[in-house]
Amino acid sequence: MAALRRAEVVWEGDLISGSGNVTAVSSQAFRSLPVTWASRTEAADGRTSPEELIAAAHASCFSMALSAALGRAGKPPRRLEVGATVAFDRVEGGWRVASSALKVRGRVPGMDEAAFKQAAETAKDNCPVSQALKGNVTLSVEATLES
């Protein structure tokens, strides 16, 4: 059976001057996060955007995929610090999510840098959020192993 997660937005007004609030209905982890067009295309100013939420989803998913792969290889990580930067850009006359760049720093006892970078590439290619974005969004990962 599929795991279903739900979020809702209430939007008021037109695109440019209007605003909305997004709520995580399934988890109730956040409520009424403000979102506007300006928070997507200009400064965030304390508001979120769909792209920031995609970045959070991608970083979370990738960290789980990398942790699982390292564990299966007998090298469970002590710590992974993952960030994702999602670019929302005007491309070919319209706006689109153009890229998601992952950056990971890991503490993985007994693993060398080359193996860590390969594991990160594999996790980037195979985590479910990457799979959802693949073919539409440029994906990249920069991996650094700490000693």
CB atoms within 10 A of CB 112: 11
> pTM of this prediction?
0.95
Which string of b and e fits 34-43 if b means at least 16 CB within 10 Å? Answer: ebbbebbeee
Question: Domains of the chain by range and CATH?
Answer: 7-41 (no CATH), 50-146 (3.30.300.20)
- Number of neighbours of residue 77 by Cβ within 10 angstroms: 20
**Given this model, what pLDDT does residue 121 score?**
98
What per-residue confidence (pLDDT) applies to 92? 83
Phi, psi of 108 (to 5 degrees): -130, 100
The residue assigned the tokens 């710590």 is: 79
Are the C-beta atoms of 34 and 91 separated by less than 8 Å?
A: no
What is the pLDDT, as a whole number, of residue 139?
A: 98
| Rounded Cα–Cα distance for residues 51 and 29 (Å) | 18
Each residue's pLDDT, cut to its tens digit, for the chain (147 residues) gives 999 999 999 999 999 999 999 999 999 999 999 999 999 999 999 999 999 999 999 999 999 999 999 999 999 999 999 999 999 999 888 999 999 999 999 999 999 999 999 999 999 999 999 999 999 999 999 999 997
**CA–CA distance, 147 with 4 (Å, rounded to integer):** 39
| Residue with the two structure tokens 């970045």 | 55
Q: How far apart are CA 9 and CA 58, in angstroms?
A: 20
Bridge partners, 46 (sequence order): none
